[in-house]
Chains A and B, each alone.
Chain A
Amino acid sequence: MALLQISEPGQSTAPHEHRLAVGIDLGTTNSLVATVRNGISVVLNDAHGHAILPSVVRYLDATGHTDVGQSALAKASEDPHNTVISAKRFMGRGLKDLPDLALLPYHFVDAPGMVQVRTVAGAKSPVEISAEILKVLRARAEAALGGDLVGAVITVPAYFDDAQRQATKDAARLAGLDVLRLLNEPTAAAIAYGLDNGSEGVYAVYDLGGGTFDISILRLARGVFEVLATNGDSALGGDDFDRRIYCWILEQAGLSVINDHDKSLLIARAREAKERLTDHTEAQVTALLTTGQFIDLTLTEAHFNQLTESLVAKTLAPTRKALRDAGLKPAEIQGVVMVGGSTRMPRIQAAVGEFFSQTPLTNLDPDKVVALGAAIQANVLAGNRLGDDWLLLDVVPLSLGLETMGGLAEKIVPRNSTLPTARAQEFTTYKDGQTAMSLHVVQGERELVADCRSLARFDLRGIPPMVAGAARIRVTFQVDADGLLSVTARETQTGVEAHIEVKPSYGLSDDEITRMLQESNAHAKDDVAARQLAELKVDAGRLVDATRTALTTDAALLNPSEQAWVAGLVSGLEGALQGDEGAAIKRAYDALNRGTGEFAARRMDASVRRALTGHRLEEF
């Protein structure tokens, strides 16, 4: 008798088909793409054998042609206004949020929600600029893997707020990537380390990148990576060390006025000096300015350490806070993983080693470890299972709340809540006959709304007139596994429902994404509708297969009439799939999806019961 394979619930129904998925580290300074090949996570190189793509986009002309990476970086001082470096620092940020504006050679435009940079190709938002980087990495991956990607895991700093996460997700969609998950960078690094070493215990991940600093405390136990606490500074990184050197150069050379070309040049020289000090005790800084002035200075390691001591200290305060939030002392940390190119600085390694009283782990390349971990997670999420099961539990980095009377922030979801999470709180009206309520969603730890980040504003209307304090407005915050928030509000007492879902004001609507895609896509002539139909048919086919499998394995969970009903919905969708009418397929698809909700719930309950009693099927 032939043995038939039946897949486990939630698993791909076609176990032998390897789905192409990648992990992308979209860094402030450098970006990388990695994938799992033959069970091993590897970074994908470009045609010249380079793994690292500098996160630099140069706009070449009015039609929007771009140059991305090393060649763009090489032209930065020649063409400073059209060459955007470190665009990640501007993601989800308004003009007023940016410090050090005077040090940046760009022409900023204060657009609503997010700042833009005026280039030869027009005003570009950080989302569009980041999308150019992602497009290059996507093309690189598709060339290397020989097919279309089913999706990507994109990493973000753990301390990114909701607006910055939403902006990152938008950039990915703009680059035509299906985001399987936004993954926190330190967590990605922990995956790469943890799975490599089979470690158990509590680990700290110290991640100092080009523009962001994160510290995460994780517990690794029996295949579960549980983030206990995270903290950081989303505007602190290697760039700040460069700026300290740059300011020192200006001071030493007696310069007060400087043009943008020379500014870019000197910032580049400052960075080279910092990198040289990684394994030398002094660095020479030489530059010929456009004014004819020649600069020739020597920076010693000791003086560099003195210039940047306060920056090093700025990373230790969040480290202490994260440990306290996790309820741990430095001595209870089993290992400290170093991530990010900036952790190559000897002073950083010494300070971290001293703080934790142990030598930090540096055996994986700090530039690649995040992409490697992201690829491993992408592989799992795409349905290409590893032999062993494991799970990632991440947290909300910053508290989420609402503005209340007097400009105070009322926290609803506290920081370090495990994802996904939902919290609800009741509010009431303060005026007689009040029929509407303005809700202002904020993120941050401070008491005053003015000191927190504003994420969204929306109105709840249609509250029946009542005396002040009689209405019961229940506001629910739901944060998904990507750390993205949606908020709903409804008046509960009278049964009158008003229900609103908000996206942060920085998020782009689907229409905007579509418009931007069409504007930027070289294949704008592609029939969008045909592509959508093809995708819908693939999804629908998958749903039919998955439901049929579930009906075979878990029929016992449904009574005969329920079975017949679900089977009828399946046949309905199969019938619709015979034709090419998108609307009919969508209707049948949605009907089956809705109709199987209860079935899905029962199957999950059954799998939980199996897990708790320890009688897993594979043990028989």
Chain B
Amino acid sequence: MSDAFALFGLTPRFALERAALDAAFRAVQAEVHPDKFAHADAATQRQAVERATAVNEAYQTLKAPVARGAYLLRQAGIEPFDPANTRMSTAFLMQQIEWREQLESATDVAALEALEKRIAAAARDHEQRLIRQIDAEADRVGATETLRELRFIEKMGEEIQSAFETFDI
């Protein structure tokens, strides 16, 4: 993939103005989408599919905080999700256990919604930390740990979403 930030004319950093990304995504996609070339020759159509696919992929990468953070670290030569690296603070491990227990004991939508709020707050807190660690301090070791915690928080959020479905009939 060519540089995801450059594709949208954005500065490569973790802090991101979502509205600017969305606007750039729409502007770029409007130029390359296959629908704009429905009657063009096969070479152009193939190019359009490839470009539009790459634009969608870059947008997904930049939109999601975990993917964006991982992308920036990988560009700096660090693999944040190296399976050999299992370091995680005791405090965060305790926090994980607490969230898990809350998820398992949730018996109604209200309990899930309360947990969802706590998780969202933790995610925001980690994102602020990443802005500092990646953009200001270039603290790659610290950023890697924060990112791995944020990835856990994101997965936790997905589990909460699927738990909601068990209450739908």
Looking at A276-284, A415-423, A433-441, the stretch in contact with chain B turns out to be A415-423
A223 partner residues in chain B, CB cutoff 8 A: 30
Q: Are A597 and B34 CB-contacts (below 8 A) given A324-B164, A612-B27, A612-B28?
A: no
A450 partner residues in chain B, CB cutoff 8 A: none
Output the least CB separation between B23 and chain A (Å).
8
Q: Are B26 and A221 in contact (CB under 8 A)?
A: yes
Known pairs A10-B44, A381-B38 / 16 extra A-B pairs, C-beta < 8 Å:
A10-B37, A221-B22, A222-B26, A320-B164, A324-B161, A382-B38, A391-B26, A391-B35, A418-B60, A420-B34, A594-B43, A597-B43, A604-B31, A610-B31, A611-B30, A613-B9
Looking at B49-57, B100-108, B133-141, the stretch in contact with chain A turns out to be B49-57
Q: Are A597 and B29 in contact (CB under 8 A)?
A: no
User: What are 20 of the A-B contact pairs (CB < 8 Å)?
Assistant: A10-B40, A222-B23, A223-B30, A382-B38, A389-B30, A391-B30, A391-B35, A391-B36, A417-B56, A420-B52, A480-B34, A481-B33, A481-B35, A596-B44, A597-B43, A600-B44, A604-B31, A607-B32, A608-B31, A608-B51
Q: Are A317 and B41 in contact (CB under 8 A)?
A: no
Best-surrounded residue of B30, B48, B164 (most CB of chain A within 10 A): B30
Q: Are A611 and B28 CB-contacts (below 8 A) given A10-B40, A321-B165, A600-B44?
A: yes
Q: Are B34 and A10 in contact (CB under 8 A)?
A: no
Output the least CB separation between B113 and chain A (Å).
10
A480 partner residues in chain B, CB cutoff 8 A: 34, 49
- Which label, helix, strand, loop or mixed, suits the secondary structure of the B interface? helix
A224 partner residues in chain B, CB cutoff 8 A: 26, 29-30
A607 partner residues in chain B, CB cutoff 8 A: 31-32
Output the least CB separation between A114 and chain B (Å).
28
Complex Cα–Cα for A180 and B37 (A): 11
Q: Are A181 and B165 in contact (CB under 8 A)?
A: no
B168 partner residues in chain A, CB cutoff 8 A: 317, 320-321
Interface residues of A (CB under 8 A from B): 10, 12, 180-181, 221-224, 226, 313, 317, 320-321, 324, 380-383, 389, 391-393, 417-422, 478, 480-481, 542-543, 546-547, 592-597, 599-601, 604, 607-608, 610-613
Q: Are B40 and A546 in contact (CB under 8 A)?
A: yes
Instruction: Let me know if B24 is at the binding interface, CB within 8 A.
Output: yes
Complex Cα–Cα for A595 and B8 (A): 28
Q: Rank and list the top 7 A-B pairs by shortest CB-CB distance, nearest first.
A: A381-B38, A612-B9, A600-B44, A597-B43, A317-B168, A600-B47, A607-B31
A481 partner residues in chain B, CB cutoff 8 A: 33-35, 49, 52
Q: Are A10 and B36 in contact (CB under 8 A)?
A: yes
A418 partner residues in chain B, CB cutoff 8 A: 56, 59-60
Complex Cα–Cα for A422 and B51 (A): 11
B37 partner residues in chain A, CB cutoff 8 A: 10
Complex Cα–Cα for A180 and B168 (A): 38
Contact check: which of A313, A320, A597 meets B46 at CB < 8 Å? A597
The total of chain B residues at the interface (CB under 8 A) is 41
Complex Cα–Cα for A498 and B44 (A): 26
The B134-169 residues at the A interface (CB cut-off 8 A) are 161, 164-165, 168-169
Complex Cα–Cα for A317 and B164 (A): 11
- Nearest A residue to B9, CB-CB: A612
Instruction: Let me know if B42 is at the binding interface, CB within 8 A.
Output: yes
Complex Cα–Cα for A419 and B34 (A): 10
> What string of 1s and 0s marks CB contacts (under 8 Å) between B70-113 and chain A?
00000000000000000000000000000000000000000000
Best-surrounded residue of A381, A382, A610 (most CB of chain B within 10 A): A381
Q: Are A317 and B169 in contact (CB under 8 A)?
A: yes
Complex Cα–Cα for A119 and B165 (A): 43
- Nearest A residue to B36, CB-CB: A10
Instruction: Let me know if B39 is at the binding interface, CB within 8 A.
Output: yes
B30 partner residues in chain A, CB cutoff 8 A: 223-224, 389, 391, 611
B57 partner residues in chain A, CB cutoff 8 A: 421-422
Q: Are A313 and B169 in contact (CB under 8 A)?
A: yes
- Nearest B residue to A318, CB-CB: B168
Best-surrounded residue of A380, A419, A480, A600 (most CB of chain B within 10 A): A600
B44 partner residues in chain A, CB cutoff 8 A: 10, 546, 596, 600, 604
Complex Cα–Cα for A144 and B27 (A): 37
Q: Are A546 and B31 CB-contacts (below 8 A) given A480-B49, A601-B47, A612-B9?
A: no
Q: Are B53 and A478 in contact (CB under 8 A)?
A: yes
